[in-house]
Amino acid sequence: MKRRIPLRKRLLVRLLIASVLIAVCSVAATAWLAVETTTRALREEQGQDLADDMRILAELSGYAATHPDWKGVGATVRSLAATMGRRIALTTADRTLIADSARKGTSLPLGAAATVDPLHTDTYTETGAQLTGIDPRAVGPYRLTAKERARLDALAGKMQTCYRRYGVAAKVEQSPSGRPMIVNSDGSEVSGFVPEECGYYGLLNPTATEEKALGALTDGARTCLQQHGLDPGTPLYLMLSPTGRAPAGRYTIAKFAKAGDPKAMETAQTCTDDALRAQLDPYVAPVAELYLGGDDTTPPRFDMSPANKAKIVGAAGLVLAVTLAVTAVVATRLVRPLRALTEAAQQPPDRHVRVPVTTRDETGILAEAFNDLTERRARLEAQRKAMVSDIAHELRSPLTNIRGWLEVTRDGVVDADSALLGSLHEEALVLQRIIDDLQDLAAADAGTLRLHREPVRADELLDQVAAAHRVAADAAGVTVRTEQDGSPWLDADPVRMRQALGNLVSNALRHTPADGSVTLAARRDGDEVVFTVTDTGTGIAPEDLPHVFDRFWRAEKSRSRRTGGSGLGLPIVRHLVAAHGGTAVAACEPGAGAVFTLRLPGAPAPKS
């Protein structure tokens, strides 16, 4: 019976306890660090995330405003992702990927963070804001040529020098189109008295490039303006605001709107805005969706302070020390009996070393199983030696007889008459029977015993076996009877089943005195067919019953091969029945004969 291990002694429970101790330490340290650092880090992170997101959007909007497509945006996306520590992905409106800083195959976040559209969103004029309108970096045909920029830069330089002579700390800023502007050192509009000799207004005159672009803009807006009675008649012109980072608009429409009519002003503004977007559309990249998220390829989002780093290192060191101590204690107690088992297993096989069982846990059960295995190995070794001795003895006797008779016949001492030849033939048959039995056992051990199954009636098997042994039974003065309860069928090899039942009958005949009887019976018991072979012989002692199916075993060691058989018949019976999926058992009472019972799977009667 399998011994139950106490719950507290089970290896699994002990490992769980050790894991819980480690987990408790880890959780406590993590909670302490979280209270100390997480809240502050998250607050910093929220502000940093917003600023980073706006910067990413502004950079990509600038790229879209200055490029007609997204072909080369991959390098910009990867550079921004590495700098910001964010995953950045650009897709078309139908989520077709344009560029992605994450590894190929990484799924996109559920929703887009923003839309990149420089013709409808301005992320340049005010840092950190998303203004409605056109991004000033989308200049398209308004970009000045190098010659025009050089002329205007020279004029702006002269104006700056002139302003400084009058105590005005002016500086020159470049607009996205390349046009210079004069502003104060803080970027505000130049105020106060500015002499006319500095020529400020000369810087505002449109260049040839701008006049051409404004003419095309006027043509594009004319249809809409005419429909509302606002046809300018002349090209629109630039209106600059030196207080801003860029021109407030590339055109002015105020004089074309009716005085004091805000609705007319709004209509004119809408017409020119739509015309400008159509004019700039070939020069900017298509609208794209921006996705932001985390990615394991990006660097950490924030750096922890030295104090927090010291806390983490200290807590981690403490947890590691506790883990090592607990693990060392548990591992030592677990490994010690395993080492004893290893040392015992490495001993020479003939020593059959046992190990002491000192615990009641899984390791103790393993030690007991190892000792049981050692006991079985010792018994098998003894059985092997006994079997070799028995085989040699069984073969020696008939071979000695054959050799002796052949030698005396060769020397002329005895004539080779029919009686001598019959005796030699009988000894040869004994040898053949022993060899056949050994072959059957070897095939059964190797799993190569062949069975030719077919539907077989149990009562027919009994009649055939009884008829085959009728002559031997009559010679021994023993009566052989058969009994059947119905006509059970089984799916079996009839030759092998006759061999198994025949071995049992032969064994019963040898142990049944004259005037005794041997009874063969068959009956159905549920899904099984039960065969019994009962004799009225001397029976088998209880201490011998466990060994009756052992090879070369005899209840009386002094009995010879002729009176006690070869000792292989019953082992063959057990293997043949096992090959059919059945069992073989023996039972008896001393002085009342023996009963051998075979149980095999039954089968339905075949359809006629």
According to CATH, the topology of domain 362-442 is: Helix Hairpins (1.10.287)
Q: Is the pLDDT of residue 208 over 80?
A: yes
The dihedral region occupied by 120, where left means phi > 0, alpha psi between -120 and 50, and beta the remainder, is alpha
Report the pLDDT value the prediction gives residue 246, as an integer from 0 to 100: 43
**What is the SS3 assignment for 158?**
helix
pLDDT of residue 477: 92
Distances (CA, A) of 448 to 88, 168, 440, 445: 68, 111, 9, 8
When comparing pLDDT for 45 and 412, which is higher? 412
CA-based radius of gyration for the chain: 54
What mean pLDDT, rounded, does the chain reach?
Answer: 78
- Report pLDDT digits (tens) over 576-606: 888 889 999 998 866 678 899 999 999 888 8
The yes-or-no verdict on residue 556 having pLDDT over 90 is no
Provide the pLDDT for residue 38. 64
**Spatial separation of the C-alpha atoms in residues 297 and 87, rounded to whole Å:** 8
| Cα gap 159→162, rounded to integer Å | 5
**Structure-model confidence comparison of residues 304 and 270, the more confident one:** 270
Domain positions in the chain: 1-136+286-346, 140-283, 362-442, 450-603
Task: Answer for the pair 181, 242: CB distance below 8 angstroms, yes or no.
Answer: yes
pLDDT of residue 518: 92
Helix (H) or strand (E) holding 58: helix 39-66
Is the pLDDT at 57 greater than 80, yes or no?
yes
pLDDT of amino acid 552: 64
Q: Which helix (H) or strand (E) holds 584?
A: strand 583-588
The CA distance from 411 to 164, in Å, is 150
CATH of domain 450-603: 3.30.565.10
Tell me what pLDDT residue 532 has: 92
Residue 144 reports pLDDT greater than 80: yes
Rounded percentage of the chain residues whose pLDDT exceeds 90: 13
Q: Which of 60, 80, 56, 63 is nearest to 284 (CA)?
A: 63
CA distance 494 to 454: 8
Work out the pLDDT band at 301, boundaries 50, 70, 90.
Answer: very low
The C-alpha atoms of residue 229 and residue 249 are separated, in whole angstroms, by 22
Report yes or no: 11 and 361 within 8 Å, Cβ to Cβ.
Answer: yes
DSSP string, 400-436: HHHHHHHHHHHTTSS---HHHHHHHHHHHHHHHHHHH
Separation CA 307–CA 303 (nearest Å)? 12
Indicate if the pLDDT at residue 497 is higher than 60: yes
d(CA 251, CA 268) in angstroms, rounded, equals 11
Amino acid identity at 501: L
pLDDT value at position 236?
67
Q: What is the pLDDT of residues 316-352, one digit of tens each?
A: 678 767 777 777 777 777 777 777 777 777 777 777 7
Query: Can you tell me the distance from the alpha carbon of 144 to that of 151, in angstroms, rounded to the nearest whole number?
Result: 11
User: What is the rounded distance in angstroms from the CA atom of residue 127 to the CA atom of residue 76?
Assistant: 20
Instruction: Identify the pLDDT of residue 243.
Output: 42
Q: Does the pLDDT at position 153 exceed 70? A: yes
User: For the segment 431-488, what is each residue's pLDDT rounded down to a tens digit?
Assistant: 776 777 677 767 766 666 778 889 999 999 999 989 888 888 988 899 999 998 888 9
pLDDT digits (tens, 9 = 90+) for 90-118: 999 898 899 998 888 888 888 888 899 99
Asked if 362 and 8 count as a contact pair (C-beta separation under 8 A), the reply is no
pLDDT exceeds cutoff 70 at 393? no
Q: Is pLDDT above 50 for 53? A: yes
User: According to the model, what pLDDT value does residue 252 have?
Assistant: 54
Which helix (DSSP H) or strand (DSSP E) does residue 96 occupy? none
DSSP calls for 315-359: HHHHHHHHHHHHHHHHHHHHHHHHHHHHHHHTS-GGG--------
Please, is 348 exposed, middle or buried when counting C-beta atoms within 10 Å of its C-beta (0-12, 13-18, 19+)? Answer: exposed
Confidence of residue 201 (pLDDT cuts 50, 70, 90): low
